[in-house]
Chain A
Amino acid sequence: GDSVTQMEGPVTLSEEAFLTINCTYTATGYPSLFWYVQYPGEGLQLLLKATKADDKGSNKGFEATYRKETTSFHLEKGSVQVSDSAVYFCALSGIPNAGGTSYGKLTFGQGTILTVHP
């Protein structure tokens, strides 16, 4: 079945440092890929997405490129801020099964805790 693997955290950085959070996936066909962010005590917010190979999703200085050849969707930001401290989830939306019951289901990675210090 589909699966998503994220780099283990927690990740601790100083403000203005470069961020990379690795994400690789296993799926049939061409899934859509997402990064979600969760701030303490809140639900998930979509950070960025990519729906086909070589697409680059970007938002708020974060970027991720859909790499079919390496089945990866690594999250990057050139200069992190204290306000970026949160949990980051990589996720994919795969191909529905024959019965259609899996349509729209997201498969999440385990999440990576990011803490940015001033």
Chain B
Amino acid sequence: GAVVSQHPSWVICKSGTSVKIECRSLDFQATTMFWYRQFPKQSLMLMATSNEGSKATYEQGVEKDKFLINHASLTLSTLTVTSAHPEDSSFYICSALTGRVQPQHFGDGTRLSIL
């Protein structure tokens, strides 16, 4: 149980395009989802926290207009990287939490490469 599916697993696109990454909880309702960014050989950096039906809470230094997060249902959150540039290339990971009970369950990540 507690499976989180992230799609796509790998995407390559041209600079200036927008890319959408989906995060789905397959067998539970995710009241809260988290989006992380991970650079090579580094730890996870929390970008934002999203609660179903409300606006995401972004961490300090994360551009809200660059990284659009939508949590429209209890099983789906999306991260859209708008007008992506090479410096946005990274590994993006989502996680989901049901209610107030830890632990978080993580997706397998999306490797984004901007040319």
The interface of chain A, by Cβ under 8 A from chain B, is 32, 34, 36, 41-46, 49, 51, 89, 93, 101, 103-106, 108-111, 113
Contact = CB atoms under 8 A, between A and B. Distances in A.
Contacts, number: 57
Contact of B93 (A44, A93, A104): A44
Interface stretch (B14-22, B43-51, B68-76, B82-90): B43-51
Contact of B109 (A36, A42, A110): A42
A43 B43 contact: no
Interface residues of B, number: 24
A43 B108 contact: yes
A55 B43 CA distance: 26
Given A34-B103, A43-B93, A49-B102, A104 B32 contact: yes
21 contacts: A36-B106, A42-B109, A43-B4, A43-B93, A43-B108, A44-B106, A45-B106, A49-B102, A89-B44, A104-B34, A104-B102, A105-B34, A105-B49, A106-B34, A106-B95, A106-B104, A108-B43, A110-B42, A111-B41, A111-B42, A113-B41
B103 A49 contact: yes
B106 to A, nearest CB: 4
B43 A89 contact: yes
Contact of B6 (A34, A43, A110): A43
Contacts of B41: 111, 113
